[in-house]
Amino acid sequence: MSQLFSKDNRQILTAPLNGDNPIMIQILGICSALAVTAQLEPAIVMGLSVTVITAFSNVIISIIRKTIPNRIRIIIQLVVVAALVTVVSMVLKAFAYDVSVKLSVYVGLIITNCILMGRLEAFAMMNKPWESFLDGIGNGLGYAWILVVIGAVRELLGSGTLLGYTIIPQGAYDAGYVNNGMMTMPAMALILLGIVIGVHRAVNKDIKS
Amino acid sequence: MIKKILDKIRPNFEEGGKLKNFHSVFEGFESFLLVSNRTSSVGVSIHDAIDSKRIMSFVVIALLPALLFGMYNIGYQNYHAAGVEAGFWAMFFYGFLALLPKILVSYIVGLGIEFIVAQWKHEEIQEGYLVTGLLIPMIVPVSCPLWMLALAVAFSVILAKEIYGGTGMNIFNPALVARAFLFFAYPSAMTGDSIWVSQNAICGLGCDLPDAFTMATPLSLVGAGQEITMPVQDMITGLMPGSVGETSVIAIAIGAVILLWTRIASWRTMLSVFVGGAVVGWLFNISGMDSAAAQVPWYEHLILGGFCFGAVFMATDPVTSARTETGKFYYGFLIGALTISIRVLNPGYPEGMMLAILFMNMFAPLIDYCVVQRNISRRVRRSHKA
């Protein structure tokens, strides 16, 4: 047990949350981060879906990494990811239909998420299954928490709600407060993402871009 | 005399003084009141009698006619809408009182952020906000709530200016970014027919208008597919609803003369904006398109909405426009052409000046690059021939 969570493995799990974050440092997976964060709920579901898919595709590819012919490895990776995405998409349709409607094509487009291919190529192809699993979980969560932050800000300021519950009191609206329509536009998500990245680099000055 | 006072309080602000956290504030005021006597310590520098603070002061002076007229027009529209007769000064002071809080909010928020950033980066205060802070209240509707204005000012100063490195480094015109922020974030406060006339009495001046009172601008009438009801002389004098500073062609023309005479604004940019607008407006006139906007005579397009204000004060901003002299022609022409195209072709946006200028701000470096490259390749060819 202690070997499973050795210092190196803990590092694999936690580095993507901060110092090696897929969105903030590697600037991967931006497209879906902009598309699904208008509200908090789809952002959470999207983050969890990507975490699950990254983790398990990492494990599967890691198990069969020695049998994959090098020249067709991308195709095989895509088949694995596509299978997992289909499973997740079906689960969402069965148990969280409203959210899956909101996410629409973006669940299917997880196949093309750069983070997934990046982790498969850079990590799972040359590491053991358990490490690959931790790496997938870490990167998925690193992606997810940025989505949650942006989704929360956008939903709060853009619609005055969080997870659909009204947060801004009616009194504020009566006093002249108006929801910020720009927050619901994808352009504002890009600006917010820029702010998050800027603040992160200002706090962690040791990160070299 | 001012110098004596400043010299007396200076030690407080220097390193070790008790107020050293405010040294940038002190320096800002000092060089605003007096010409800076500090010279550069490295390299060869050529100093002109006119520095960027003087340039900003001239732009502010050039803005004053449009600002003062805007105040009068606020009062005029209010009394006119209520059907009450009033004297010139009553109208003017009403407008003054309506506009003053906006100017104060714009300056306090904007300069506050500038002071904080200057302090934080240990730099001198940059003077660019002097003009921006006056432009922002002039390009919003008179009924824009103050908290929205403050938010827009903060947004544009931080995200359109400071993160690029402050005055002189920004890609987009900060005043227009503030307006674009309001336009996209709070469309109900920036477009429509109920926002162009101040609705409430202030300090006993003006009249309370009924809540449902609406007054359309000429361009929103056109956007709705109707005929313009205002006569042409009102479009030129500016006695019509619109954003505060944009309505009067005469007041803007006075500002344009000041800017051109002091050579702060480029006549190339200004002229080519008007040419671009006129050409495209004329093309739509003869195209036979069956929409109200396309059938507005081309000369009316040039005097309606924010066209003049944008052409004179926004497009000519030396920081965000094209820098090469040839490039300024392309830059200006495309602004004018885009503005009219947006007005005519996009039913959602009755006015296109803001978006056209922001769009061309983005392309100004590209235009410069092409002009410079063309010049280089031409000279290479010439030298090969010889």
- Give the distance from CA B375 to its chain's centroid: 32
- Measured between beta carbons, the chain A residues lying within 8 angstroms of B185 are 180-183
SS3 of chain A: CCCCCCHHHHHHHHHHHCCCCCCCCCCCCHHHHHHCCCCHHHHHHHHHHHHHHHHHHHHHHHHCCCCCCHHHHHHHHHHHHHHHHHHHHHHHHHHCHHHHHHHCHHHHHHHHCHHHHHHHHHCHHHCCHHHHHHHHHHHHHHHHHHHHHHHHHHHHHHHCEECCEECCCHHHHHCCCCCCHHHHCHHHHHHHHHHHHHHHHHHCCCCCC
Predicted confidence at residue B368, as pLDDT, reads 92
- Residue type, position A192, single letter: L
- Measured between beta carbons, the chain A residues lying within 8 angstroms of B164 are none
Per the listing, tokens 């989704």 go with: A151
Interval A134-164: pLDDT, tens: 999 999 999 999 999 999 999 888 888 888 7
| Smallest Cα distance from B185 to chain A, Å | 4
Find the CB nearest A180 among B145, B163, B185.
B185
Name the nearest CA neighbour of A119 among A181, A203, A53: A53
Interval B159-212: pLDDT, tens: 888 888 777 788 888 889 998 888 888 887 776 666 666 666 665 555 555 555
Contact predicate B206/B198, CB 8 Å: yes
Domain residue spans of chain A:
24-203
Q: Which residue, of B215, B250, B280, is where some domain finishes?
A: B215
**A70 pLDDT tier (thresholds 50, 70, 90):** confident
Provide the chain B residues 151-180 that lie in CB contact (below 8 A) with chain A: 159, 163
Predicted confidence at residue B197, as pLDDT, reads 67
Is the pLDDT score of B213 beyond 60?
Answer: no
- Examine the domain organization and report whether B84 and B202 are in the same domain: yes
Per the listing, tokens 């497009």 go with: B315
Predicted confidence at residue B334, as pLDDT, reads 93
Q: Within a 13 Å sphere around the CA of B63, how many CA atoms are in the beta-carbon half? A: 22
How many other C-beta atoms are found inside a 10 Å radius of the C-beta of residue A170? 10
Put simply, the answer to whether B181 touches A182 (Cβ < 8 Å) is: yes
Interval A115-129: pLDDT, tens: 888 888 888 888 888
Is the pLDDT score of B10 beyond 70?
Answer: no
Answer yes or no: is B42 within a domain. no
| Smallest Cα distance from A181 to chain B, Å | 4
Answer yes or no: is B194 within a domain. yes
A178 touches chain B (CB under 8 A): yes
Which CA distances in Å does B328 have to A44, B82, B354?
48, 45, 18
Residues 6 or more apart in contact with residue B9 via CB below 8 angstroms = B26
Query: If you average pLDDT over every residue of chain B, what do you get?
Result: 79
**Number of domain units in chain B:** 2
CA–CA dist A144, A17 (Å, integer) = 9
Residues 6 or more apart in contact with residue B263 via CB below 8 angstroms = none
Is the pLDDT score of B363 beyond 90?
Answer: yes
Which CA distances in Å does B258 have to B11, B37, B57, B180, B253?
39, 27, 12, 27, 9
- Give the distance from CA B78 to its chain's centroid: 24
Length of chain B: 386
CA–CA dist B339, B331 (Å, integer) = 12
Name the nearest CA neighbour of A32 among A102, A104, A106, A99: A106
- Examine the domain organization and report whether B209 and B279 are in the same domain: no
Name the nearest CA neighbour of B181 among A58, A187, A168, A62: A187
Question: Which domain, by its residues, includes B345?
Answer: 267-386
- Examine the domain organization and report whether B66 and B130 are in the same domain: yes
| Smallest Cα distance from A45 to chain B, Å | 27
Query: Mean pLDDT across the stretch B279-296?
Result: 80
* Structure ipTM over 0.85, yes or no: no
